[in-house]
Amino acid sequence: MILSGPAAAELLAALHAQCFPPGERWDQAAMTGLLAVPGCFACVAAGGPRGRPSGMALIRVAADEAELLTIGVVPDSRRRGIANGLLIELAAAAAARGAMRLFLEVSVANAAALALYRDRGFEEVGRRRRYYPDDSDAVVMAGNPTVISAA
């Protein structure tokens, strides 16, 4: 389900808090600020335990480029293809808004995410040294949203 606008910020912040460790969580104010940016929208995955949301992702489209700002799946719903579904839905929405390339950053330590992105056709285009709180590098990746969403 695609969400936009500040009304979605509370739900997104709650999901982000479940997906990430304390030092990496984005609060409601951060989500509100991001969702106020033109071209920024989110996707929430359903299907968690007791019908709760199981994951979220936030993306920004500007001109013919998009950037995946964050994506996460709650721990008890991981390894079920939810991140893949979120990625496909957001790539399709980005392509529909004119994006020709989709960029993201991922920690070199996140093997599962790197495998997902490579499987979806993303390629490494750069590195940001010691980018994350644990001092791991960020791998900058780019892919074609039309190809990604055709999965």
Q: Which of 65, 89, 105, 132 is catalytic?
A: 105
> Is 117 assigned a catalytic role?
yes
Q: Which amino acid is at 27?
A: D
Q: Which of 67, 89, 117, 131 is catalytic?
A: 117
> Is 105 assigned a catalytic role?
yes
Listed residue (13, 5, 67) closest to 38, CA to CA: 5
| Displacement of CA 78 from its chain's centroid (Å) | 14
Listed residue (38, 64, 3) closest to 15, CA to CA: 3
Q: Are 90 and 68 in contact (CB under 8 A)?
A: yes
Residues with catalytic function: 105, 117
